Structures are given as structure tokens and as C-alpha cells.
């Protein structure tokens, strides 16, 4: 029973450094410049519907792609020799230690019309393809940057799936598809949920990827918020309003996700 106390320092920490700042965001989002209550900023959101729509859409695609890529990879990693697993895991994370901006620059170099990939394809007689400044490039940037955050939680639950469980299912006459659907996926559900959260959320609020790989005309919510806070107009209130709406959207989507998590309803209210 006492182990509940272990969470106490964290709870205090979060109360001070998360709840209070969140309150500040709501305060700013619901007031005008002079600090009077106002919903003008919130009611302007209709104008940005397309941006919201596009951000969520691209983030959903990126999340799905990440899941498709990461799932087999995590499974393969979890079936490796134990001493190899740690190394492989670090190899997955290592690219993220190179600066984000540098990595995105490198992708620009690769994807440009005169870029490395098109040059290589040119030798084979293909292309050049229009790859940069498209929504596809934005999704690629999201997948590249956030796929490790899908791999990690998936791997971490899959190591717990004992080979004997799979063998037992096989002995009982399941084919490999059935093993996957009836054994592996249900057992790795917590990891899938965590992975989706950790990929979807940063994808939906990113701003540098869309600017550099999307050519600046595919504005996302992150760009919009950044423009309010670090743009010439310095409109903290509008920035806060947009983030409130964004948060509500994310909560909603996460709530839907949770409907698939039969084990225990943890994570989200609703």
C-alpha cells in the first residue's frame, strides 16, 4: 500500500511544473491583451480549420506508417539474443542524437530536385521526381524523426512475450496469421497505445519539418502557433487559444484510441 507514496514527489513536481503552467496557457487563451476575459481568439479558430485538418491528417498517416514500420522491427529485435538487443536499441536511438535541424537539412539535401536521391536515380535512368515541398516529404520527415518512439515501447512489451506462448499457439494449430492476430497483437497492445501517443502528438504539433521539407506553404498548427509567439505580432493570447484547441483535438483522438485498449482504461478520461 505504501508504494503509492513513491509517486508523491512526481505528483508534487507535476502540480507545480505542469498544472500551473497549463493553467497559465488557459488563462492566456481565454483573455485578451489587457487580461480581460474574451473568447474572440477562440472564435477565430474557424478560419484555421484547414490547417487543423491537414495537421491531424498528416499526423495520422505518419503514425500509421510508423506503426507499420516499427511493429515487425520491434518483433525482430525482441527475438534476438539478449546481449544484442541493447546494442540494436541504441542503434535505433542514435540518429536522434544528431541535431534535429541538421538531420532535416540532410533530408533536404537528399530529396531536392537536384538532390542525392534524384542523382542516383538519374544514373539508372529514372526521374527526376518532385519529392521535396510535398506533403509526402512532410510525412517522411515525421516518420523519420519519430519512428524510434514507436519502436521503443513496442520492443519493450514484446520482450515480455515468451517464445513458448507463440509455440503453444502453433502447437494448438494456429497458423502464423492467427498467432499474430490472437497472440502477439493482443499481448503488445499497451506498447501500441504508448507508441501511437508518442508519435502522433509530436507529429501533430511539429513546425520545422513542414517549413523545411514542405516548402513553407503547407502550414501546420505548429507553424501557426510559432508564428504567434515568435512572429512580429507577438500574440501570446492567440497562440494559447490555438494550443487549447489543439489539446482538445489530441485528447479526443487519444480517447478514441483508448476504446481499443480493453485491458484497462488508463491514460485518458472520457
Which residues in 195-254 contact another protein (CB under 8 A)? Answer: 197-198, 201-202, 205, 207, 211-212, 215-217, 219, 221-236, 239-240, 243, 246-247, 250-252, 254
Half-sphere exposure for 156 (CA within 13 Å, toward CB): 12
Shorter beta-carbon distance to another protein: residue 162 or 181? 162
Distances, alpha carbon 240 to alpha carbons 14, 82, 150, 166, 226, in Å: 20, 46, 28, 49, 10
The answer to whether residue 39 forms part of the interface with another protein (CB under 8 A) is: no
Scanning 42-50, 58-66, 166-174, 177-185 for contacts with another protein by CB under 8 A, the matching segment is 42-50
In the complex, minimum distance from the CB of residue 100 to another protein, in angstroms, rounded to a whole number: 5
Near another protein by CB under 8 A: residue from 35, 40, 68, 116: 116
**CA–CA distance, 240 with 248 (Å, rounded to integer):** 12
Q: Of residues 42, 64, 121, 255, which one binds another protein by CB under 8 A?
A: 255
Q: Work out which of 34, 47, 171, 173 binds another protein, going by CB under 8 A.
A: 47
Min. distance of Cβ 172 from another protein in angstroms? 20
Restricted to residues 56-115, the positions that interact with another protein (CB under 8 A) are 69, 72-73, 76, 81-83, 85-87, 89-103, 105-110, 112-115
Alpha carbon 68 to chain centroid distance? 14
Q: Is 43 in the site for another protein (CB under 8 A)?
A: no
- Give the number of other Cβ atoms within 10 Å of residue 52's Cβ: 19
Residue 197 C-beta-side C-alpha neighbours within 13 Å: 18
Name the residue with cell 482504461: 265
Residues near 205 by Cβ (< 8 Å), separated by ≥ 6? 55, 220, 221, 222, 225, 246
Amino acid at each position: 500500500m505504501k508504494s503509492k507514496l513513491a509517486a508523491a514527489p512526481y505528483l508534487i513536481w507535476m502540480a507545480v511544473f505542469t498544472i500551473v503552467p497549463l493553467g497559465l496557457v488557459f488563462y492566456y487563451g481565454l483573455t485578451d491583451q489587457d487580461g480581460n476575459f474574451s473568447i474572440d481568439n477562440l472564435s477565430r479558430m474557424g478560419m484555421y480549420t484547414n490547417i487543423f485538418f491537414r495537421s491531424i491528417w498528416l499526423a495520422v498517416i505518419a503514425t500509421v506508417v510508423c506503426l507499420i514500420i516499427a511493429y515487425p522491427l520491434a518483433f525482430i529485435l525482441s527475438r534476438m539474443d539478449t546481449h544484442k538487443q541493447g546494442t540494436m536499441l541504441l542503434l535505433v536511438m542514435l540518429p536522434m542524437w544528431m541535431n534535429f535541424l541538421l538531420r532535416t537539412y540532410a533530408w533536404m539535401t537528399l530529396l531536392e530536385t537536384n538532390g542525392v536521391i534524384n542523382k542516383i536515380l538519374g544514373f539508372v535512368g529514372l526521374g527526376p521526381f518532385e519529392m521535396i515541398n510535398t506533403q509526402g516529404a512532410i510525412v517522411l520527415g515525421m516518420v523519420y524523426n519519430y519512428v524510434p518512439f514507436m519502436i521503443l515501447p513496442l520492443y519493450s512489451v514484446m520482450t515480455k512475450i515468451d517464445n513458448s506462448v507463440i509455440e503453444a499457439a502453433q502447437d494448438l494449430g494456429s497458423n502464423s496469421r492467427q498467432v499474430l492476430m490472437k497472440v502477439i497483437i493482443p499481448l503488445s497492445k499497451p506498447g501500441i497505445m504508448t507508441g501511437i501517443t508518442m508519435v502522433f502528438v509530436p507529429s501533430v504539433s511539429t513546425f520545422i519539418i513542414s517549413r523545411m521539407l514542405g516548402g513553407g506553404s503547407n502550414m501546420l498548427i505548429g507553424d501557426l502557433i510559432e508564428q504567434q509567439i515568435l512572429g512580429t505580432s507577438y500574440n501570446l493570447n492567440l497562440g494559447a487559444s490555438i494550443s487549447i484547441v489543439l489539446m482538445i483535438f489530441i485528447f479526443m483522438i487519444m480517447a478514441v484510441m483508448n476504446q481499443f485498449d480493453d485491458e484497462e482504461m488508463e491514460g485518458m478520461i472520457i
